[in-house]
Amino acid sequence: DGGITQSPKYLFRKEGQNVTLSCEQNLNHDAMYWYRQDPGQGLRLIYYSQIVNDFQKGDIAEGYSVSREKKESFPLTVTSAQKNPTAFYLCASSSGNGGNQPQHFGDGTRLSIL
């Protein structure tokens, strides 16, 4: 079955460390997204990519970086500049490039600070 795979499910970060969250999709979708979810705040967009080798900042991009070298993959790096990284991170994809297509979600990665 097609879908989105996020790994790892749980991740721990030490002070000053960069960590990378993996997101892979086999839905042949052009667009991919990264969201951060905190309790009571819904989903906030970090970065999104509408096509390979191109991506745009979302609402809370500071302290994060992404790459889109392959259509199937959109890894997110949480850098040491992100001072409050503890959250649930969700990756999504859609067949369209904008707000008129439903997004399909992975099962998320929970990041905590050691």
Binding stretches for another protein (CB under 8 A): 4, 6, 35, 40-43, 45, 48, 58, 90, 92, 96-108, 110
Q: CB 84 → another protein: shortest distance, Å?
A: 19
- Looking at the Cβ atoms of 18 and 26, the one nearer to another protein is 26
**DSSP code string of 30-83:** SEEEEEEE-TTS-EEEEEEEEETTEEEE-TT-TTEEE--SBTTB--EEE-TT-S
Paired tokens of 95: 């067949």
Nearer to another protein, 45 or 52 (CB): 45
Smallest separation (angstroms) from another protein to the CB of 34 = 12
CB 98 within 8 A of CB 105: no
Q: Closer to another protein at the Cβ: 4 or 19?
A: 4
